[in-house]
A and B are shown apart, each in its own frame.
Chain A
Amino acid sequence: MADQFTISEVCICEAAKVWKDDGEILATGIGLLPRIAVGLAKKLHNPDLMMTDGEAFLIDQPHPLGVGAEPCVDGYMTYSRVFDVLWSGARHAMVTPTQIDKYAHLNISSIGNYAQPKVQLLGVRGFPGNSISHLNSIFIPNHSKKVFVEGSVDMVSSVGFDADDVEPLIGKVITNLGIFDYQGNKNTLRLLSIHSTSSLDEIRDNTGFDFEIFSTDETTNPTKDELDIIRNELDPNNLRSSVIGE
């Protein structure tokens, strides 16, 4: 076990585990930490994962961030093909919504009144289809009531557990405070572990709705192996340090 590590590194190591038992599918990590996590998953947990270069190709091995290395291309994955794959279900994404609620609705579209939003974000992108087609895990770098909102998210960009005809496919929810899933009674948010730097009180104070407690154990510490791969191979310039204010 390593002596010192950051919460970003804890999150990356936990995030990587979500793809462990997925078999030969497309893993998509959107954002810096999820992207490092996919690389770690491929290296340590599931070598069969398919991953992209962020442009149009599948790559055999994760390439280090910010180093400009040429990745080893072994397949083709245009945006059009991504939709063919995702509608088949053979994908597991990790995404960072701006808001999430008790039904696991995600919002990346806009904040405030839809007709004239207070804050315009990206737009729904592929979230409506992703949410019913394949597993989506969540990474939240700033666990707060602004993200885990009371009531409903402002623009429902993905299916929630209150829908009649369809059900969202939600995996783990990894935040800077702890690890969760939506496997509580009637798909309630459920706490699985708390990071060493946080507490149950802090999580309660920063979550806008009730959640179940499965465990208050401390989140597993990163291993030396995991840290070596992150620090020496995947993110040698420590870009990850900018994601979570620590």
Chain B
Amino acid sequence: MNKVITTNDFISKLEDGMTIGIGGWGARRKPMSLVREICRSNLKDLTLVSYGGPDIGLLSSCKKIRKLIFGFVSLDLIPLDSHFRNARQSGELPEVVEIDEGMLQWGLRAAGMNLPFLPTRVGIGTDVLKNNPHIKFVESPYDDKEKLVAMPAIKLDVALLHVNESDEKGNTLIFGPDPFFDDLFARAASKTFVSTEKLVDSTSFDKEKVANYNRFERNLVSGIIPDEGGAHPTACNPSYGIDLDHLKEYSKSAKTFDEYQEKYLFVDEATYKKNVGGIKSITSIPLTKF
């Protein structure tokens, strides 16, 4: 089955009010071109789930988010995201579910395992539970009778991921050192859309590569969008690092967003790439040292 689609096809699969999970972590391997397409669309009232980076900042400033489920929002090299901060401080982000990163992992896992919840101690004794009264407790049925948090499944309508290579069937390879929680997003979602640096013929995959870098099955993948540089300005190891200069420009634009939108969002993705210096300049950004 050939799952390669265009960005227009991709947007046509999304609907107002959907719950969308975004893979990657902070400013690392985010499917940013897909995020930008959502910014360019008329979609609204989305619930977003993310180990947040500039994906959440951009979608906040574009007022696409009705509810955000998150543990943090950070640009890595720049600790805080000015767009997300603006949205929170101005009260423009209608609803937040701020939970421990581990609870986020548990919620995605529960959804992927088709369970209503997974038990954990995490959250007890903190404002995470005070601020989220929908998260209930459960008592251990065993002799210990321990009171545990029942972290509810976070079911996703759609997951968005960015990978290094994919074939047209959705066999993907992630070469970056950390696969993050992308597999959990894919399992928690009804549909997963993947942007890929390279569209390849899987007959070129060798066993060792597949064993190390194929992190989830192709049956989870609904659509492939070939897009070299699609993670920019976040990192996509080993092809390119975080574009710190761009993130600085992005950070400054929280107050004067019109100009940033004009240059990077009111244009198509090909023009975006041109406006940030072209694909060669993206792929020559040195890998980030942490």
Contact = CB atoms under 8 A, between A and B. Distances in A.
Given A126-B100, A126-B102, A132 B73 contact: no
Contacts of A57: 177
Contacts of A55: 177-178, 290
Contact of B89 (A78, A116, A127, A128): A116
Interface in A144-181: 155-160, 163-166, 168
Contacts of B73: 122-123
Interface string B92-123: 00000011111101000000000000001111
B277 interface: no
24 contacts: A56-B178, A78-B178, A80-B179, A80-B181, A83-B102, A119-B85, A121-B80, A122-B74, A123-B52, A123-B71, A125-B72, A126-B101, A128-B102, A128-B123, A129-B100, A129-B102, A129-B121, A131-B125, A155-B131, A156-B125, A157-B127, A165-B124, A165-B147, A166-B121
A118 to B, nearest CB: 7
A155 B129 CA distance: 11
Interface stretch (A18-26, A107-115, A230-238): A107-115
Contacts of B12: none
Contact of B105 (A80, A110, A123): A80
A78 B73 CA distance: 19
A160 B177 contact: no
- Main SS class of interface, A: loop
Q: How large is the interface on B (under 10, 10 to 19, 20 to 34, 35 or more residues)?
A: 35 or more
Given A122-B74, A157-B127, A128 B122 contact: yes
Contacts of B125: 128, 131-132, 156, 159-160, 163-166, 168
B178 A127 contact: no
B91 A115 contact: yes
A245 interface: no
Contact of B126 (A86, A87, A159): A159
B188 to A, nearest CB: 14
A165 B72 CA distance: 26
Given A78-B180, A87-B102, A117-B89, A126 B71 contact: yes
B180 A128 contact: no
Interface string A87-125: 100000000000000000000011000111111111111
Contact of A124 (B72, B89, B120, B177): B72
A78 B98 contact: no
A79 interface: yes
A218 interface: no
A129 B122 contact: yes
B84 interface: yes
B177 A156 contact: no
A75 interface: no
Contacts of A79: 25, 51, 178, 180-181
A163 B121 CA distance: 13
B248 interface: no
Given A78-B178, A157-B126, A127 B85 contact: no
Nearest to A109: B98
B121 A132 contact: yes
Contact of B72 (A54, A122, A163): A122
Contacts of A159: 124-126
Contacts of A54: 290
Contacts of B99: 124
A121 B289 CA distance: 24
